[in-house]
Amino acid sequence: MKESMTERDLGSNDVPPAPPRLPRDLSGWVATALLASLLISLAVWQWASPDRPAEPNGEAPPPLPALGVQDEAQLKMMAVLLTLPGGEVQARPQIAAAARQAAREANLDESGAYVALLLARMAGEPAPQKVVELLGESKSRITKEAAVLLTAENPDPVLLARLTEEVAPDSVSSRILRAELKEEAGRPNPYEGVIDPIQAFWLMAVLLGAAFAVALGVIALILMGTQHARGTWVTRRLDTAPTLPDADRFAFRFAAFFVFFVLASVVAGPVLGVLRAIPPLGGLGVALPGILTFVLVALFLRVPMRNRADSLRSVFGGRFEWRHVWVGIGGFLANLPLLLVVVFLVTAMSAPFAGRVPAPSHPINEILTQGVWAVIGSFLAAAIMAPLLEELTFRGLLFPALTRIMPVFGALALQGFVFAAIHPQGPLAWPMLMMVGMVAGFVAWKEGSLWPAVVMHAAHNGCILILALSLS
């Protein structure tokens, strides 16, 4: 029997020649480094240069200092603890510690001094002299009189009664001020009506749920760590960029994410201005930049680069499986005790600089106070779009590319840092965010899929929003 031309030419044992190796292309890495450095530098600059209060233009000053969402949330938490059965005894040490912390930061502005005064009164302690002096220089008559009356040995009852009526109960802080003025005047049950009982019950339920989740997190951390160490939790490896040219291509796609993010934010700005006239669409529009960025990144994946196009399915590591939900929830729980340790360390290390560096904050805290549609839009943005987009880019593109040029732990740390640095909370929150990014990368690496990281990220952001909403 005659041999075919192919068999004669190649021989029965010959192997077809391998395709030519693609040369390295470092343009994506350079673009990623430059764009990431630029965004990180801008974040540090904005954090180190907070907005200054506007200069007075002849208008009457507000009757009381305007407090941010975080200050109002802290006062609400302390008021709830104080109104619980036995709270006057058990909660006062915690409130006193918060008052001392606020007093150390009160040298920045009048609002900080106002918070320190209220917390000191709630703790039953005298306000520090510098707090009294700062409030005594206020241009607001009500603020100045409140500071004098709440720190005087024998305040005038007539002035106490008049000032109590002048303070409008339109915020938690103003209701606490009214309660302290009533208490100074000797009225019974001064804190009645400061916190709605249903809100207090809901807040305590959320806090107890958070404590229970942390306890479960310790168990999850031990179990997952033990299974990883023993090898019973098989590492499936998120190996979506198996070669160096693949890593170069992923790096370029990740650099494009930064461009798309900025472009989507610019485009979404005018659109949001129009949508705000329609309450449902205005609130839901909070998620618009994330949606636009996700669509642009998904479309760009289909553009061939270096002789290959990618897809959402290939970058995500395959199909969704229900086991990814349980691994994602386990990662979320295991991350909680790690976050508490990091928060403790950051708090301890930043304590000497209290009052001189801005505290972490997020614009979404203000959005949560703008109505039910804004709340729904915030959940859509933070608990759905952010996990999909950020896992796709940081754990789906950057992390696999980094594993080709450095050890896995180094790749986890570096992508976690970049992930943390682009968030608006400020550098003091970077260690916590970096831990979230590292744990998300770890579960994605172990499972060979982004879906467990998406579930973990969604659970984390959703629970943070529920807690923020309870405190707002």
Q: What is the pLDDT of residues 140-193, one digit of tens each?
A: 788 887 777 777 777 778 777 888 888 877 778 888 888 888 887 778 777 777
16 located within any domain? no
Q: List residues bridging with 305 in a β-sheet.
A: 308
Distance, in Å, from the CA atom of 263 to the CA atom of 87, rounded to the nearest integer, reads 51
Between 451-471 and 430-447, two packed helices, what is the crossing angle to 10 degrees? Answer: 150
9 located within any domain? no
Q: Same domain for 349 and 430?
A: yes
Structure confidence at residue 54 as a pLDDT band (50, 70, 90): very low
Helices then strands, each counted (H, E), the chain: 23, 0
Higher pLDDT, 402 or 7: 402
Structure confidence at residue 55 as a pLDDT band (50, 70, 90): very low
Q: Same domain for 313 and 458?
A: yes
Structure confidence at residue 316 as a pLDDT band (50, 70, 90): very high
User: Among 6-10, 93-97, 334-338, where is mean pLDDT lowest?
Assistant: 6-10
Structure confidence at residue 366 as a pLDDT band (50, 70, 90): low
Mean pLDDT of the chain: 81
**Average pLDDT of span 202-211:** 85
Q: Are 115 and 135 in contact (CB under 8 A)?
A: no
Distance, in Å, from the CA atom of 400 to the CA atom of 315, rounded to the nearest integer, reads 9
Type of residue at 321: E
The winner for highest mean pLDDT among 118-127, 307-316, 358-367 is 307-316
The string of DSSP letters for 40-86 reads HHHHHHHHHSPPPPPPP-SSPPPSSPPPPHHHHHHHHHHHHHHHSTT
Q: Which of 157, 191, 225 is the last residue of a domain?
A: 191
Q: Same domain for 183 and 267?
A: no
Give the residue numbers spanning the domain of 259: 199-471
CA-nearest of 177, 62, 159 to 114 is 177
Q: Which of 191, 217, 247 is the last residue of a domain?
A: 191
Q: Same domain for 261 and 340?
A: yes
Q: Same domain for 268 and 164?
A: no
Structure confidence at residue 353 as a pLDDT band (50, 70, 90): low
pLDDT score, position 328: 96
Percent over 90 (pLDDT), the chain: 29
207 located within any domain? yes
Distance, in Å, from the CA atom of 402 to the CA atom of 399, rounded to the nearest integer, reads 5
11 located within any domain? no
Tokens of 167: 């303070």
305 located within any domain? yes
pTM exceeding 0.85 = no
Type of residue at 136: G
Q: Same domain for 421 and 399?
A: yes
Q: Same domain for 362 and 424?
A: yes
pLDDT score, position 416: 95
Q: Same domain for 169 and 212?
A: no
User: Among 187-196, 251-260, 326-335, 361-370, where is mean pLDDT lowest?
Assistant: 361-370
CA-nearest of 445, 330, 333, 323 to 391 is 445
Q: Same domain for 140 and 214?
A: no
Question: Domain total for the chain?
Answer: 2
Structure confidence at residue 399 as a pLDDT band (50, 70, 90): very high
Q: Same domain for 185 and 210?
A: no
The per-residue pLDDT for range 113-130, each reduced to its tens digit, is: 888 888 888 877 777 777
The per-residue pLDDT for range 240-256, each reduced to its tens digit, is: 888 888 899 999 999 99
The per-residue pLDDT for range 62-72, each reduced to its tens digit, is: 777 777 777 77
The winner for highest mean pLDDT among 10-14, 44-48, 387-391 is 387-391
Count of Cβ atoms closer than 10 Å to residue 56 Cβ: 9
104 located within any domain? yes
Percent over 70 (pLDDT), the chain: 82
The per-residue pLDDT for range 212-235, each reduced to its tens digit, is: 999 999 999 999 999 999 989 988
- Is the confidence at residue 354, as pLDDT, over 90? no
443 located within any domain? yes
Q: Same domain for 441 and 401?
A: yes
CB under 8 A, 24+ apart: contacts of 72-75: 72/171, 72/172, 72/173, 72/471, 72/472, 73/365, 73/468, 73/471, 73/472, 74/98, 74/115, 74/119, 75/115, 75/118, 75/119, 75/172, 75/173, 75/176
394 located within any domain? yes
pLDDT score, position 10: 45
Q: Which of 174, 191, 208 is the last residue of a domain?
A: 191
Q: Are 276 and 282 in contact (CB under 8 A)?
A: yes
Q: Same domain for 284 and 226?
A: yes
The runs of H, that is alpha helices, within 84-156 are 87-90, 92-105, 110-123, 129-136, 141-151
